[in-house]
Chain A
Amino acid sequence: MANDAVAEQERMRRFRDAALPHLDEVYTLARYLMRNTDDAEDAVQECYLRALRHFDSYRGPAIKPWLLTILRNVCNAEFARRGRAEVPTDYVQGESVVEEIPMWQEPQASAEKVVLRQQDSATIRRLVAELPEPFREVIVLREMNDLSYKEIAEVAGVPVGTVMSRLARARSMLRSTYVAESATARPGTAAARGVAL
């Protein structure tokens, strides 16, 4: 019994050492998938509990994608339970600048010439948060979690080819909103519209 307890303590210590350094990464994905902090925190907590339970079966070389896979499952299970009712993102402040985004919008030549402004973090976060799934997920896994295509494929449970096409589409959507944002946010406009940029 005492030995069991010691072994369990040792197992937990190994898990903490391996998994806790990735807490920010896990939280980042949770934040973008769940779209609000309370749900994100619950999802992260559950992810770590599940990961600890299944730590014995973990064999992979990198623990980060493994943790993110668990987190993704946690979030999807929660969405399924809620009947896919999407929670409005709390990244959005004020009115939504971006209306309907065509699935694939090639920017106009003139728009293309608009120099991409150095948007501040809040704006970019909001634009990412407004991407529909599964494009939001792929962007976050790539740009924020720094996963390779292969790792993204594992986390999302799709072939690498799908990752590539999703990423291409996600970036195109993002660029469209980005360009639109840059075009509308000319001097004075942003303040006039009351949008927190």
Chain B
Amino acid sequence: MNCAESGVLLHALIDGELDAGHNCEVEAHVSACSACAEKLASFRAMREAMAGAALKEFAPAHLRARVEASLTHPASRVVSARSFFKPSRRSFFGGFAVGSALSAALAASLVLTVIRGDQVQAVADEVVSAHIRSLQAGHLMDVATSDQHTVKPWFNGRVDVAPPVIDLTAESFTLLGGRLDYIDSEPVAAIVYQRRKHVINLFVAQHLGARHGRAVAESIQGYNVRHWSQDGLDFWAVSDLAGDELDEFVQKIARAMPRSSSEPYPGRRAL
């Protein structure tokens, strides 16, 4: 055994990972080589120091509570694998003090989500995840313009529908632009609006599990979600905007849709 081999194997010796044969070989080398013996001694000393230094971390109580809670209520398993954690959401909302509102809404969503079908649930989770993902720096828009006539053609060839892009600037919902997103592995059009500091993502595709007729309201992970189907398209609006303001947005979009064949959105009272 040479020093190079011993340099690696003496760690296995320290860790008790060597079989008897190698153990003997390393020990024989170390006893004959003062350099390696010195190394072994100093690594052993270091390990002892580390063992005595209490390096393990202990999960803080609030984290333990959070994890336990998420493993107790099935309905709170709303985080999708594709956008699990949102460090930039924290910074994005820094100063907006949404914490308590968020947890209150989360509690409400526990009740709401239990009674829903799995498929809609899956889409809802993905839509919220996509919304959160979009808030991360640089993810919000592929085409950034308040010009609806630029946004709409941008989707040509990118998604298999022609999503209505409606300018609601006059209604104080500013059109920010559009983005290609993926829900359930299918490309969907995401049209981005903003009211004050609140971003609204409007996802449009053909089959997103929305039911025809009145918009369904819910709250997931503190985000308000509305979904409805109109003119053969499914719409999902997601935002941290207050529920009634999001309803207003949905109404305006639904009413402004070009030549709606019926009145799909009966108004906020029906929500």
A24–B54 alpha-carbon span in the complex (Å): 13
Residues of B within 8 A of A27 (CB): 57-59, 63
Residue of chain A at shortest CB distance from B88: A82
A25–B50 alpha-carbon span in the complex (Å): 16
Q: Is B46 in the interface zone, CB < 8 Å from A?
A: yes
11 additional A-B pairs beyond A45-B66, A48-B71, beta carbons within 8 Å, are A24-B59, A27-B58, A42-B85, A49-B77, A77-B84, A112-B38, A148-B17, A164-B8, A167-B11, A168-B8, A175-B43
Of A58-66, A92-100, A115-123, A186-194, the one with at least 4 CB within 8 A of chain B = A115-123
Q: Is B258 in the interface zone, CB < 8 Å from A?
A: no
Identify the B interface with A (CB < 8 A).
Answer: 7-9, 11-12, 15, 17, 38, 42-43, 45-47, 49-60, 63-64, 66-68, 70-72, 74, 77, 79, 81, 84-87, 90, 136
Identify the A interface with B (CB < 8 A).
Answer: 8, 12, 15-16, 19-20, 23-28, 31, 37-39, 41-46, 48-50, 52-53, 74, 77-78, 81, 107, 112, 116-121, 124-125, 128, 142-144, 148-149, 164-165, 167-168, 171, 174-175, 178
Residues of A within 8 A of B72 (CB): 12, 16
Residues of A within 8 A of B42 (CB): 107, 112, 116, 175
Residues of B within 8 A of A118 (CB): 49, 52-53
Indicate if the CB atoms of A119 and B53 lie closer than 8 Å.
yes
| Ranked 5 nearest A-B pairs via Cβ | A46-B84, A42-B85, A27-B59, A28-B57, A121-B53
Q: Point out which of B17, B79, B85 has the most chain A C-beta atoms below 10 A from its C-beta.
A: B85
Residues of B within 8 A of A19 (CB): 71
Residues of A within 8 A of B74 (CB): 8, 12
Indicate if the CB atoms of B84 and A24 lie closer than 8 Å.
no
Residue of chain B at shortest CB distance from A107: B42
Inter-chain contact count A-B, CB under 8 Å?
129
Residues of A within 8 A of B60 (CB): 37, 41
A3–B11 alpha-carbon span in the complex (Å): 52
Q: Point out which of A26, A52, A107, A143 has the most chain B C-beta atoms below 10 A from its C-beta.
A: A143
Least CB distance from A52 to B in Å reads 6
Indicate if the CB atoms of A45 and B11 lie closer than 8 Å.
no
Residues of A within 8 A of B63 (CB): 23, 27, 41, 44-45
Residues of A within 8 A of B15 (CB): 142, 149, 167
Given A24-B58, A167-B11: A143 touches B67 (CB 8 Å cut-off): no
Residues of B within 8 A of A168 (CB): 7-8, 11
Indicate if the CB atoms of A49 and B55 lie closer than 8 Å.
no
Indicate if the CB atoms of A120 and B53 lie closer than 8 Å.
yes
Given A116-B45, A116-B46, A175-B43: A20 touches B68 (CB 8 Å cut-off): yes
Residues of B within 8 A of A178 (CB): 46
Least CB distance from B30 to A in Å reads 14
Residue of chain B at shortest CB distance from A160: B17
Residues of A within 8 A of B90 (CB): 38
Q: Which of A44, A116, A125, A149 contacts B67 (CB 8 A)?
A: A44
A112–B85 alpha-carbon span in the complex (Å): 44
A142–B46 alpha-carbon span in the complex (Å): 14
Residues of A within 8 A of B64 (CB): 23
Indicate if the CB atoms of B17 and A45 lie closer than 8 Å.
no
Residues of A within 8 A of B54 (CB): 121
Least CB distance from A75 to B in Å reads 10
